[in-house]
Amino acid sequence: MCGIVGAVAQNNIVPTLLEGLHRLEYRGYDSAGIALLNGGLNRLRTTGRVAELSKLVNERQFQSKIGIAHTRWATHGAPSERNTHPHFSGGGVSKVAVVHNGIIENHEALHQRLQDAGFEFVSDTDTEVIAHLIMLNLEKAPDLLEAVCRSVAELQGAYAIAVMEETHPDRIIVSRNGAPLLLGLGEDGNYAASDVSALLQVTKRMIYLEEGDVAELRRDGYRIVSCLGAGPCKEVERAVHESKLTNEAVEMGPYAHFMQKEIFEQPGAVANTLEMVLNAHSISPRLFGSEAENIFKQTKSILILACGTSYHAGLVARYWIESVAGLTCNVEIASEYRYRDPVSQSNALVVGISQSGETADTLAALSYAKSLGHRHSLAICNVAESALVRQADLRFLTRAGPEIGVASTKAFTTQLAALMLLTMTLSKLRGKLSDERELEMIAALRHLPVALQHALQVETQVKAWAERFSQKRHALFLGRGMHYPIAMEGALKLKEISYIHAEAYPAGELKHGPLALVDKDMPVVAIAPNDALLEKLKSNLQEVHARGGELYVFADADSRIQESEGLHIIRMAEHAGLLSPILHTVPLQLLAYHVALQKGTDIDKPRNLAKSVTVE
């Protein structure tokens, strides 16, 4: 949600800021702005995309050696120019500029106080209070770092901010609390951004700021203070990390969209995620951390907390954990769980699943579970330095690489691979996995990247279906058992990027309501792997067929199901047993992608959405 980038360097930093914003656009893209210090503070802001902002900046030939920039996903205030960041305070002797990611929960109280103190508000955002607060604090503490420290001490909520001020033209102050922010240390200057991808163009040396950190960036140096807890802020050292990511990893290469690239990266992403076990003969709890064995042995049930696509991964895992490990597994939408009064079980392992590791609801749900007495937690996440990974006792990092397309694809299949490893580990520790079965399951995992490669080959057939779907306004997705969550994921993908209304149902539930919707205009997608539920599913499909519904069935090579009038079939190359949900995800991703392509929507940046949701 919202991307921040800041730079102070020897040369013109405007191209760096714009490229950085372009990289961060997945975080929000309803308006963008830039503030530069060149003589005084100047800014350009526009509704719409970073490309619009770049055009404006180039027309005006803006240049500077210091600046901050922002791409927005609106929370407070519509995506209009006056609500676009950077926000200013002052106009008299000095001016403060602020960009912000997150939500200031006490902004109403601060607004009132600052208004009473004579500040005039010109936007509907919560961010503007930060600019005025810093201006107010500058009267008491003329040093900008000190003024920001005093200001953040008064902020409640989650935020990452970057600040410039006219009388300190050589520095940028940044701070984070609950939203990501990192520093990039370059040869010719220093930088800050919401995410590594924005800074790989200038440096690989990164410092991940901790909660409550405030940092001052100058061209030739930086300092960091920690303002956590009571008492004055203290200067702190933070480790410098060499990022292993390459610039290519965040570039589109030969693909038309990041989503397409990420769909096709799945064999490699899953292979990377499974690397530690692919050449092994047995599975070790150490995959989840040094304390894992001890914690897993105390685990009596599993509680999975997640949002969106990650929640669907959790739903698949429930089938695996219950049937293979024999453990009760509850899966909860994080935003619901955090406001319920669930009965806690101290020996339930809480598993947070998140691609970004910064989804506010998932983080809050995990903290809530802890406050209710759950003793142990595990993070399954794609971002090593994320808040979720830091918050949990145990961790498993999926190795999908950066996922830029807003609709999650490779993050999902790598989460499923990780959850299968968790299932096997729990099962083994509970004495439910024989050596022979363990070897068989490792062999199946070893084959998974190749099987995914085969699954991608259905693309041409899916494209043909996509043409028909693009005319439709609604679609139903059906699945049974562990493929029901895959139907949910398929419906979500279609909604997200093609804006076709899609609903998923467990196929057995059809006759209890949704069958009423079925007619020739309602395509019904069914996932029909060759498993124990196939015959049951076929009866459900007959119910659709008999009512004139058009069926689009993803079956396995050997699923006993025949094409007929109104019943179209695409067959997957093989049946993958327990891993079948992973393979059956691929054609559904491709279907959504090609339908969206037909419809000409903005596939990587669907309207109203953002990739990482750092607000409630």
Which residues of this protein are in contact with ligand G6P, per CB under 6 A?
Answer: 307-310, 354-356, 359, 362, 406-408, 609, 611-613
CA angle 304, 308, 313 (to 5 degrees): 50
Q: Establish whether 495 is a catalytic residue.
A: no
Catalytic position from the list 261, 410, 538, 611: 611
In whole angstroms, how close is the CB of 130 to ligand G6P at the nearest point?
Answer: 25
DSSP code string of 194-242: SSGGGTTTT-SEEEEPPTTEEEEEETTEEEEEE--SSS--EEE----EE
Contacts of 245 (CB under 8 A, 6+ apart): 196, 197, 200, 204, 401, 402
Q: Decide whether 54 or 359 has the Cβ nearer to ligand G6P.
A: 359
In whole angstroms, how close is the CB of 418 to ligand G6P at the nearest point?
Answer: 12
In whole angstroms, how close is the CB of 611 to ligand G6P at the nearest point?
Answer: 5
Q: Establish whether 2 is a catalytic residue.
A: yes
DSSP annotation of 121: P
Q: Which two tokens stand for residue 460?
A: 């041409």
What is the C-alpha separation between 549 and 566, in angstroms, rounded?
7
In whole angstroms, how close is the CB of 3 to ligand G6P at the nearest point?
Answer: 14
Q: Decide whether 260 or 354 has the Cβ nearer to ligand G6P.
A: 354
CA atoms within 13 A on the CB side of 543: 20
CA atoms within 13 A on the CB side of 288: 28
In whole angstroms, how close is the CB of 413 to ligand G6P at the nearest point?
Answer: 13
What is the C-alpha separation between 40 and 549, in angstroms, rounded?
66
Q: Decide whether 261 or 480 has the Cβ nearer to ligand G6P.
A: 261
Q: Decide whether 54 or 335 has the Cβ nearer to ligand G6P.
A: 335
What is the C-alpha separation between 465 and 470, in angstroms, rounded?
9
Q: Decide whether 194 or 612 has the Cβ nearer to ligand G6P.
A: 612
Residue of 159, 162, 178 lying closest to 76 (CA atoms): 159
For the CA atoms of the chain, what is the radius of gyration? Answer: 25
Q: Where are the alpha helices (DSSP H) in 117-193?
A: 128-140, 144-152
Task: Name the β-bridge partners of 478.
Answer: 505, 526
Q: Which two tokens stand for residue 576?
A: 């993958």
> Closest-CB residue for ligand G6P?
308
Q: Decide whether 213 or 496 has the Cβ nearer to ligand G6P.
A: 496
Catalytic position from the list 2, 149, 233, 381: 2
Q: Which two tokens stand for residue 222?
A: 């930086």
In whole angstroms, how close is the CB of 34 to ligand G6P at the nearest point?
Answer: 25
User: Which residues are identified as catalytic?
Assistant: 2, 611
